Structure 1
């Protein structure tokens, strides 16, 4: 099974990070990749870099947009593969054979394939895996504790993907992945058992923690209702305080 995977990258004035991502896609041993880049009208050489990468870039556009999730929606509209995966500027595949391993070692015809994520600094050095443990079996319930899987490590069948809800400025990816899981055949969600991507720390939500938490609560209320959302947020705060107490920070 070798379905076409649309890898989508959005970027803005991030030529150095974009170079890493392009190289990572270029080095994939899997051949059925449609690589889509949406650039926000960069002035730092990104457009020239993309134009010079025609051996790997299938489709691209460079124009001003209203923000990150608008650009990601543009990428979805441009994509034509059976599956989509977002790797934004600075994010890379965990290894050169990542996609090949996913489709050779996992059951075929899944709605969603997911795996673990390694966190890296701006130099590409690993600083450890994500804090949230990857669910053995991903479901909507997995997201009651937060973003239980990085969207950089989730391949989703394009036919069940919605647009990102641009009403959320910071955490629309949380809503997007959760919505896709709710649409998926629950028997066709596959834990690959692999590390899929290396995520460059310092993303949008980490720079706007308070607003991200408020948006996340609104999204939880949308999917789980008010009572469950309040309860799980209370438990998350309690667990955080308990952890800080154990570390002697309180």
Structure 2
């Protein structure tokens, strides 16, 4: 039997992008998808677009929330699928066959993950994320940076806890680490699974986000190892920008 996937989209005042995201989910060839949309009481016409597709949605809520992770928790509480995937407004499933191919890559994994392609606000491709998805992924894989985005990871609902609301910008990192610690079978699909719109809340509040990530990594990896890991991260970042600059020269 094909596993049921709960796709959860969080949106607030994003009339420009919401339909593109929704169509990427609703046009999937995979038949067993439950689509849940959590809107934070938008006032810009976003709700009108969502209502056009309401008959194809499993759940649609529009009400004020306490932030993105509070909204994501609402989606988790409504989800009934075997797996959950967060595809927030502005992002897309990579292709119409993506979900089908993810579940065909292996049977009954606890977690499936893949690669992400980045796009700017004009929806022009910026290529692969700087942090490529690792060949093998476990809860320690984030020690040198966030190598998998939440748009590119399918988590079995039974091991997916709630998002920790004490983190405002990087709770998805904490959520993925906790889920991964509970997983016994993690599958690399070796394919692009998501398109990611750059410039989300973690970018707009970049310094606060980095501080929060440091706290999360310290919690799981220890202070001294985390400090050493951040030296490696800084060195890798410097090498990346030097190479990137040479490529553009």
Partner residue in 1 for 2:112: 113
TM-score if structure 2 supplies the norm length?
0.94
Does the Cα contact within 8 Å between 2:5 and 2:83 map onto a contact in 1? yes
Alpha-carbon deviation of 1:245?
5.6
Alpha-carbon deviation of 1:88?
0.4
For residues 36-61 of structure 1, the C-alpha deviation after alignment (integer angstroms, 9 at most, x for no partner) is 00000001122222222024211010
Aligned equivalents of 1:76 and 1:86: distance in 2?
Answer: 10
For residues 151-197 of structure 1, the C-alpha deviation after alignment (integer angstroms, 9 at most, x for no partner) is 10100000101111111111111111111101111xx1000111101
- More moved, 116-125 vs 153-162: 116-125
Segments of 4+ moved more than 4 angstroms: 242-248
Does the Cα contact within 8 Å between 1:144 and 1:229 map onto a contact in 2? yes
Does the Cα contact within 8 Å between 1:50 and 1:57 map onto a contact in 2? no
Matches within 5 A, 1:54-93: 54-93=54-93
- More moved, 46-55 vs 194-203: 46-55
Partner residue in 1 for 2:199: 202
**Are 1:161 and 2:187 matched, yes or no?**
no
Does the Cα contact within 8 Å between 1:91 and 1:198 map onto a contact in 2? yes
Partner residue in 2 for 1:145: 144
**Are 1:180 and 2:179 matched, yes or no?**
yes
RMSD value, Cα: 1.4
Aligned equivalents of 1:10 and 1:145: distance in 2?
Answer: 28
1:193 to 186, 190, 193: 190
Structure 1 portions without partners, runs of 5+: none
Q: Give the total of aligned pairs.
A: 245
TM-score if structure 1 supplies the norm length?
0.94
Partner residue in 1 for 2:230: 233
SS at match of 1:72: helix
Does the Cα contact within 8 Å between 2:24 and 2:92 map onto a contact in 1? yes
Does the Cα contact within 8 Å between 1:114 and 1:192 map onto a contact in 2? yes
Does the Cα contact within 8 Å between 2:4 and 2:34 map onto a contact in 1? yes
Alpha-carbon deviation of 1:149?
0.5
Structure 2 portions without partners, runs of 5+: none
Does the Cα contact within 8 Å between 1:25 and 1:56 map onto a contact in 2? no
Aligned equivalents of 1:152 and 1:230: distance in 2?
Answer: 28
